[in-house]
Amino acid sequence: MLLAVAAKTAENPSWWDEWGKFLPGWLAFLWVVGTAVRKVWLRQQKLALGAADDELRDALIAARSSFEDIIAKGRRAPWFEADERRETARRIRDLAERRKDEALRAELSKVAAAWDEAFAHAPGAARPRIRVMGQPSSPQERAESARVQAQFGKEAEAARPGLEHVKSALARLNELERKTHGRS
C-alpha cells in the first residue's frame, strides 16, 4: 500500500511537494515589491521635507533667537532693519513655499506673520536727548517713555506666539527628518 502511494505521488506530485522550488522566486518578488513601496514612500517624505532643510533650520534658529531677544528686552525698528534680520519673514515664507507638508507650512506662515506683527509694534528710533543733571524730566518725555514701553509690551506679546510656532516648526522638521534620513 505504501509503495502504491509513493508511486502515485511520483507520477502526479502536488504543489506541497514542489513548494521549495518556487520559494526563492516568491521571496524575490516580495523583496522587489517591498523595495518599490519603500522608494515611493521615501520620495513622498522627501517632498514633504523639501529641499534645503538645513537652510530652513538655520532660518528658524535665527528667528527663535531673535524672538527671545524681543521678549527679553524690547527692540526698536532699526534693530529689525539690520542686514541679518531685514529679510527674516520673507525668507521663511520663501522656504515654506518649497515644502509639501501642510503642518510645517502652516507653522512657518505663522512664524512669518508673528515676525511681521512684532515689527509693526516696534517703536521708531530713539531721539537723542540732552539733559541737565538734576533737572526733572518733562511730562512729554514721561508720556513718550510710557508709550515706548507700551509698544515694547505689544511687541513682546506678538513675539511669544511666534516663539511657540518656531518651536512647533522645528519639532515638525525634526520629525520629517527622522522619517526621511533617520536622524535623531
Q: What is the pLDDT of residues 40-53, one digit of tens each?
A: 877 776 666 665 67
Domain count for the chain, please give it. Answer: 1
Tell whether the model's pLDDT for residue 178 goes beyond 90.
no
Asked if residue 72 is part of any domain, the answer here is: yes
Asked if residue 3 is part of any domain, the answer here is: no
Asked if residue 171 is part of any domain, the answer here is: yes
Residue numbers of the domain that contains 153: 52-123+143-184
Task: Answer yes or no: pTM beyond 0.85.
Answer: no
Asked if residue 7 is part of any domain, the answer here is: no
What's residue 182's pLDDT? 65
Q: Identify residue 129 by its one-letter amino acid code.
A: R
Asked if residue 6 is part of any domain, the answer here is: no
CA distance 65 to 145: 26
Reported as a pLDDT band with limits 50, 70 and 90, residue 113 is very high
Asked if residue 57 is part of any domain, the answer here is: yes
Average pLDDT rounded to a whole number, residues 161-175: 91
Q: Which three cell numbers stand for residue 124?
A: 521708531
Asked if residue 162 is part of any domain, the answer here is: yes
Asked if residue 74 is part of any domain, the answer here is: yes
Burial of 104 (0-12, 13-18, 19+ CB in 10 A): buried
Helix, strand or coil, per DSSP, at residue 126 = coil
CA distance 156 to 121: 9
Q: Which three cell numbers stand for residue 102?
A: 501642510
Mean pLDDT of the chain: 79
